[in-house]
Structure 1
Amino acid sequence: METRYRVVGGVELKLDKSVCPRPSGRRHRWGSKIGRTTSDGEREGIGSNDAVRLGEGRGSKTASFRPLLDGIDFDIESGGSDHWDELARYLAGYSSRGKKVYLTAAPQCPFPDALIGQALQKVPFDYVWVQFYNNPPCQYASGNPVNLQDSWKQWTSSIPATKIFLGLPASPEAAGSGFIPVPDLTSEVLPAIKGTNKYGGLMLWSRYYDDQSGYSSAIKSDV
């Protein structure tokens, strides 16, 4: 699957050529449509099946190592919270086979995320794009960045992820709430978080809305 995020910062995603001109690979967006699983074994079964596409050919033991994906994105918005940590740990194990498998996730900003929070606290994901929108208690309010800043500090100090990204809507139409006008972002929000540990950049929802608004182009030099 192709990502619909637009990332502004130091991460290269294959489809985000306008932001990251040298693509590194393709990531599979693992969303809530996967359905519910009820055991560690079932999660590992899913992991094994997907690992075929991560770099073990088409099931043939003699197939050459030809990776088609280089990572999995967990965008879990419904279902249960159990066993995602086991699945993430299982998939991360493929990195020991000579090909880095990136683990990324897009949790909601209330900490911990109700569904993927346990996995994020137990497994060192590479990149976490926290959705600071549609959640008034932890998102930006006009002229008041305190809730967002407090939530950002909690996220960056509480999970072992390598980099954490500020997830925002790319236009007012992209989300019910949480859009930050460019002047407010560059004067109030970014100066407070850019120097913090684990800051990686911004994730914008979505590529479609960013193409319409030009938001990433307007903020790129400040990120």
Structure 2
Amino acid sequence: MARKSQTIALLIFFVAVALSKTSYAAFISTYWGQNVSEGTLKEACDTGIYDIINIAFLNVFGGGRTPSMNLAGHCDPPSGTCVIFGEQIRYCQRLGIKALLSLGGAIGTYGLTSKDDAQSVADYLWETFLPGRTSPGPLGDATLDGIDFDIEGASNLYYDDLVRFLKEKSESVYLSAAPQCPFPDYHLGPAIDTGLFDAVGVQFYNNPPCQYHDAAEDAAPAGGYITVGNLTSYVLPVIKKSAKYGGVMLWSRSFDKETGYGASIKPFIHEDGLVYSS
């Protein structure tokens, strides 16, 4: 995701469910972990706004690199202090909120060099964060629900293999992707083509070819910010007619905490009470 937004910005994705998903309730998801002012993970979950929280980011992996996380000022992964979030993750899950680990981001050193490399990263994720974990990992003794792909840099190769390897380990591993809206996305196009993602949150802001036309300059420098009024009055009524509508993804918890955007739109995400089918 482009990170050039000003402090009052709140940036939006629209989420499409994958072909493999037969029914679902529309949801709000957000990213947590890149601004200490956003508060703890528990506090984010206690708002009652979010159905999915992407913990951002695992921004070093692949190519023989030792995988590592960047959670801004929340904790220091090398010293092991991020284990404090293990209980908070379990707390969120008890509330019915999915906790995913987001791969990539705008700043990091990552990329896959071969199919074998993709297998190695899949094994690492499975054994460190997912149900294959047998000992505490960087996030303590919590087992995450899945993996989010926010791939913005380096090569676009072998992510389709990584997706396949993760789903081969367990169909229950929840996978989401955050591509740019010009189609196909350079970095994630082949991976999305596998049809294995459970949700795809398309980034429509800072993407002039397909972003919302009435943009606030202080929210998204390249355009695409949507006010609550425009979203609920003009945009949601149209996109909710799509069989692939899955909800809204927000960047990020820190901006949402500052603006109250998520709470404002929550009643409109699935106010008709329907479970949508693909």
User: Judging changes above 3 Å, is the alpha-carbon distance between structure 1 residues 198 and 77 closer, same or farther for their aligned structure 2 residues?
Assistant: same
- In the superposition, relative to structure 1, how do residues 115 and 222 fare at CA in structure 2: closer, same or farther (>3 Å)? same
Q: Distance in 2 between matches of 1:25 and 1:51?
A: 16
**Could you tell me whether the CA contact under 8 Å between 1:85 and 1:119 is conserved in 2?**
yes
Provide TM-score, normalisation by structure 2. 0.59
Q: Write the distance in 2 (CA, Å) between the matches of 1:216 and 1:24.
A: 15
Q: How does 1:2-151 map to 2 (within 5 A)?
A: 9-10=26-27, 15-18=44-47, 19-20=49-50, 22-32=95-105, 33=108, 35-53=110-128, 54-58=130-134, 68-96=143-171, 100-142=172-214
Alignment pair present for 1:202 and 2:248: yes
Deviation (angstroms), 1:25? 3.9
Whose helix fraction is larger, Structure 1's or Structure 2's?
1
* Count of matched residue pairs: 184
Percent identity (aligned): 40
- Which SS does the other structure have where 2:267 is aligned? helix
Does the C-alpha gap of structure 1 residues 16 and 109 become closer, same or farther in structure 2, counting only changes over 3 Å? farther
1:190 aligns with 236
Other-structure match for 1:214: 260
Distance 1:11 1:210, change over 3 A: closer
What TM-score, normalized by structure 1, do the two folds share? 0.73
The unaligned stretches of length 5 or more in structure 1 are 60-65, 144-170
Q: Deviations over 1:17-69 (max 9, x none)?
A: 4214723442111115351221100111111111102122347xxxxxx8611
In structure 2, how many angstroms separate the alpha carbons of the residues matched to 1:198 and 1:52? Answer: 32
Q: Check whether the contact 1:12–1:23 (CA below 8 A) recurs between aligned residues.
A: no
User: In 2, are the aligned partners of 1:71 and 1:101 still within 8 Å (CA)?
Assistant: yes
CA distance 1:178–1:200, shift in 2 (3 Å)? same
- Distance in 1, matches of 2:190 and 2:253, equals 29
> What is aligned with 2:138?
none
After TM superposition, give the deviation of residue 85 of structure 1 in Å.
0.4
Look up the SS of the partner of 2:193 in the other structure: helix
Write the distance in 2 (CA, Å) between the matches of 1:12 and 1:80. Answer: 27
Judging by fraction of residues, say which structure has more strand: 2
SS class of match (1:41): helix
Considering only aligned residues, what root-mean-square deviation do their CA atoms show, in Å? 2.8
Distance in 1 of aligned mates of 2:217 and 2:259: 9
1:186-214 superposed Cα distances (whole Å, 9 cap, x missing partner): 22111110121111111111111111111
Q: In structure 2, how many angstroms separate the alpha carbons of the residues matched to 1:12 and 1:204?
A: 6
Offset of residue 175 of structure 1: 3.0
Unaligned runs of 5+ in 2: 1-10, 15-25, 31-40, 52-94, 136-140, 270-278
1:150 is matched with: none
- RCO higher in 1 or 2 (8 Å CA, sep ≥ 6)? 2
